[in-house]
């Protein structure tokens, strides 16, 4: 069906009319734009200051944990930074999030959280920012310290529906230690996401399924066909680790079901049932799954759990924080990764009570750990 019948068209218009009229405020748009321009200029100036402060290149820019304020200068979007040195964790805990603000009715909200383009949270609590290209969408952190992500090239050019998209491209970007980049152009007209990576392979989700792309040759191989788990694989949460793939197969109002498949045998190896809103990651060996979730539909408390994939039995359960609909009080999970096959860390951040400015994530973040018993 390509034509909408007139009676349904009319009903959709009437349904839209139930939304209150938009309080148009053209002057407000202009004020917000001017405020944004001032903020960007201030950030740029701060970035230059941070650049000057970075001398040896081997000292973490920021330190902060468990709500202890950071000592160093603020993290700044796009700032050049030392590349993280390899350490002993199995999975690097890398956080990446856009800035956000608490709406206060004004054109210049003063309270919020600054952007984190990409930064590693090390086991000792130090935070080491990466230098990533503008528009970088973090996909995965490789064990050797490289990051792989996506950049939409040409995204600064608004394009019209139906416009020629040949010049637009999605690029796969590998950020190497020291900030060097390697880029590969991906097919622009197809949705794509990164769902995992190791030192030689990046795993992409495409409409056809999950594909393994060799980082040296660019050759792609389908490792899990969409038909195995359903046509909406690209809209599902998917993570590939340790030769296994975890797919959120179903989310209801009370539970989250995560199926784990073996990439080699392509058979299902287990199913884990967590609470609502699960954000999950497989252990390095693929035998356990950790998730931050809501333990009950009646509570907004988030908990960090570990489950055995084969049996579905829960092995650990620790509280994390509380999610609300109010940005002034809500917390967010910024990252989740395993230190080894037993211990997992989550980064949780929320504004402090009485927040009165824009905070850097390392200032207010809390690291929550859980170990499989």
Partner 1 sequence: MADPPTVTLGAPGQVVADPTDEPPGLPFDRFYAGHVDRVHRALALALGDPALAREATDEAMVRAYARWDRVSRLDNPPGWVFRVGLNWATSWWRKVRRERPPLADERHPAVAAPDPAALAARTALDRLPTGQRTVIVCRVLLDLSTAETATVLDLSEGTVKSRLSRGLAELRAALAEKE
| Contacting partner 1 within 115-134 (CB under 8 A) | 134
Q: Which is nearer to partner 1, 155 or 178 (CB)?
A: 155
Q: Give the nearest distance from C-beta 366 to partner 1 in angstroms.
A: 16
Q: Give the nearest distance from C-beta 182 to partner 1 in angstroms.
A: 17
Cβ–Cβ < 8 Å for 274, 294? no
Q: Indicate the burial class of 208 (C-beta count within 10 angstroms; 0-12, 13-18, 19 or more).
A: middle
3-class DSSP assignment, residue 191: coil
Q: Which is nearer to partner 1, 156 or 199 (CB)?
A: 156
Q: Give the nearest distance from C-beta 199 to partner 1 in angstroms.
A: 19
DSSP structure class, residue 234: G
Task: Please report whether residue 263 would count as binding partner 1 according to CB under 8 A.
Answer: no
Task: Please report whether residue 157 would count as binding partner 1 according to CB under 8 A.
Answer: yes
Task: Please report whether residue 105 would count as binding partner 1 according to CB under 8 A.
Answer: no
Binding mask 169-198 for partner 1 (x = CB under 8 A): -x-----------------xx-xxxxx---
End-to-end CA distance of the chain: 55
Task: Please report whether residue 223 would count as binding partner 1 according to CB under 8 A.
Answer: no
Task: Please report whether residue 168 would count as binding partner 1 according to CB under 8 A.
Answer: yes
Task: Please report whether residue 1 would count as binding partner 1 according to CB under 8 A.
Answer: yes
Q: Which is nearer to partner 1, 24 or 264 (CB)?
A: 24
C-beta neighbour count of 281 within 10 angstroms = 22
C-beta neighbour count of 114 within 10 angstroms = 22
Query: DSSP string spanning 42-89?
Result: HHHHHHHHHHHH--SS-S-SEE--TTPPP-SPPP-TT---PPPPP-S-
Q: What is the CA radius of gyration of the chain?
A: 22
Only one of the segments 91-99, 124-132, 212-220, 349-357 lies at the binding site for partner 1 (rule: CB under 8 A); that segment is: 91-99
Task: Please report whether residue 265 would count as binding partner 1 according to CB under 8 A.
Answer: no
Task: Please report whether residue 164 would count as binding partner 1 according to CB under 8 A.
Answer: no
Total residues binding partner 1 (CB under 8 A)? 89
Cβ–Cβ < 8 Å for 348, 332? yes
The residue within the footprint of partner 1, chosen from 222, 235, 352, 371 (CB under 8 A), is 235
Q: Which is nearer to partner 1, 72 or 202 (CB)?
A: 202
Cβ–Cβ < 8 Å for 328, 288? no
What's the sign of the alpha-carbon dihedral 12, 15, 21, 22? negative
């Amino acid at each position: 069906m390509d034509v909408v019948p007139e009676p349904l068209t009319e009903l959709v218009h009437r349904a839209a009319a139930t939304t209150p009229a938009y309080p148009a405020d053209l002057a407000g748009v202009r004020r917000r734009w001017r405020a944004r321009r001032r903020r960007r200029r201030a950030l740029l100036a701060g970035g230059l200051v941070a650049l000057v402060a970075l001398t040896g290149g081997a000292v973490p820019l920021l330190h902060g944990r468990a709500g202890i304020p950071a000592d160093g200068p603020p993290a700044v979007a796009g700032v050049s930074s030392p590349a993280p040195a390899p350490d002993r964790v199995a999975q690097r805990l890398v956080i990446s999030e856009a800035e956000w603000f608490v709406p206060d009715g004004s054109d210049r909200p003063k309270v919020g959280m600054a952007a984190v383009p990409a930064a590693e949270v090390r086991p000792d609590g130090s935070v080491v920012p990466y230098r990533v290209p503008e528009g970088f969408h973090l996909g995965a952190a490789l064990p050797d310290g490289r990051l792989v992500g996506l950049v939409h090239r040409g995204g600064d050019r608004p394009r019209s529906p139906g416009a020629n998209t040949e010049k637009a491209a999605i690029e796969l970007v590998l950020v190497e230690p020291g900030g060097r980049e390697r880029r590969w152009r991906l097919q622009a007209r197809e949705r794509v996401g990164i769902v995992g990576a190791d030192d030689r392979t990046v795993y992409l989700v495409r409409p056809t399924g999950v594909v393994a792309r060799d980082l040296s040759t660019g050759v792609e191989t389908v490792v899990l066909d969409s038909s195995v788990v359903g046509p909406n694989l690209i809209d599902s949460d998917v993570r590939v680790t340790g030769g296994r793939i975890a797919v959120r197969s179903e989310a209801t109002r009370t539970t989250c079901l995560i199926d784990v498949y073996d990439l080699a045998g392509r058979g299902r190896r287990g199913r884990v049932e967590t609470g609502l809103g699960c954000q999950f990651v497989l252990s390095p060996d693929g035998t356990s799954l950790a998730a931050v979730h809501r333990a009950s539909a009646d509570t907004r408390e988030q908990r960090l759990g570990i489950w055995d994939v084969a049996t579905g039995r829960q092995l650990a359960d620790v509280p994390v924080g509380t999610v609300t609909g109010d940005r002034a009080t809500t917390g967010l999970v910024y990252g989740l990764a395993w230190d080894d096959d037993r211990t997992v860390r989550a980064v949780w951040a929320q504004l402090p009570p009485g927040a009165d400015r824009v905070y850097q994530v390392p200032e207010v973040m809390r690291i929550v750990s859980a170990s499989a018993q």
